[in-house]
Amino acid sequence: MISNTTHVCPTEISIILNNRIRRWLQNPRKILGPYVKEGVDVLEVGCGPGFFTLDMAQMVGKTGQVVAVDLQEGMLAKVREKIRRSEAGQNIVLHKCEEDKIGVSGKFDFVFLFYVVHEVPDKGAFFRELVSVLKADGLIYVVEPPLHVSKKALEETIKIASDAGLTVVDRPRRFPDKAVLLKMA
Ligand SMILES: C[S@@+](CC[C@H](N)C(=O)[O-])C[C@H]1O[C@@H](n2cnc3c(N)ncnc32)[C@H](O)[C@@H]1O
């Protein structure tokens, strides 16, 4: 069940997240290139319709894996359809989570959270769970949208992440978005 405490991006408007103009403005290969290499194990929480997912699967190659998680079955169905139509994606595992429990096992090199953290009701529990599945030298990349998330709100998120055992490694410039790269403290 999805609570009413935070707004969750509905499946019906997923076209906004999945189109050519966005690909030009937010090129997945450019955004992910510094972090996602051959053999990397990626956890993408809030994958939505999979704008980044298939690119990441190609970037990690046969020796890596992408676990793509979303709260909404409708979003996962869109990723499933993309995989079906593509030659890539055999290394993608789809997982439907609860809003207060990601529920994946294993350890990951890279956790990707694009436009999702502001939709998560209990950010403390969310980051604590991510810490439990992050490799010791792993990275968590948080990108938040410019309009929904103020500078102050991002700082509050960073404080919550630090309380969960993370520290800031970098603040990648992603104007107009707000971005932060975290690792284990
Ligand atoms: C604004 S969309 C972004 C989707 C994708 N990251 C992108 O950039 O195209 C946010 C996504 O996060 C998902 N979401 C919201 N709350 C979540 C939660 N607590 N756990 C997992 N996914 C969540 C929503 O269902 C939605 O698909």
Question: Which string of DSSP letters, residue by residue, matches 83-139?
Answer: HHHSS--TTEEEEE-BTTB----S-EEEEEEES-GGG-S-HHHHHHHHHHHEEEEEE
Q: Nearest-CA neighbor of 11 among 46, 55, 53, 54?
A: 46
Q: Are 78 and 19 in contact, with CB atoms under 8 Å apart?
A: no
Å from CA of 10 to ligand 1 middle? 9
2 — pLDDT class (breaks 50, 70, 90): very low
Nearest CA to ligand 1 atom 19: 99
Q: How far is CA 143 from CA 31, 38, 80, 84, 86, in A?
A: 10, 22, 24, 28, 27
Residue ranges covered by each domain of the chain: 36-184
CA-to-CA dists, residue 49 to 53, 54, 70, 87, 119, angstroms: 9, 10, 9, 17, 16
> Does ligand 1 have an atom closer than 6 angstroms to the CB of 32?
no
Predicted local distance difference test score (pLDDT) of residue 88: 83
Rounded to whole angstroms, how far apart are CA atoms 106 and 130?
A: 11
pLDDT in tens, 71-121: 999 999 999 999 999 988 999 999 999 999 999 999 999 999 999 999 999
* Binding site membership of 115 for ligand 1 (Cβ less than 6 Å): yes
Lowest-confidence region among 4-8, 16-20, 34-38, 159-163 = 4-8
Ligand 1 pocket member 181 (CB < 6 A):
no
Largest pairwise CA distance in the chain: 42
C-alpha 30: how far from its chain's center?
Answer: 16
CATH architecture for residues 36-184:
3-Layer(aba) Sandwich (3.40)
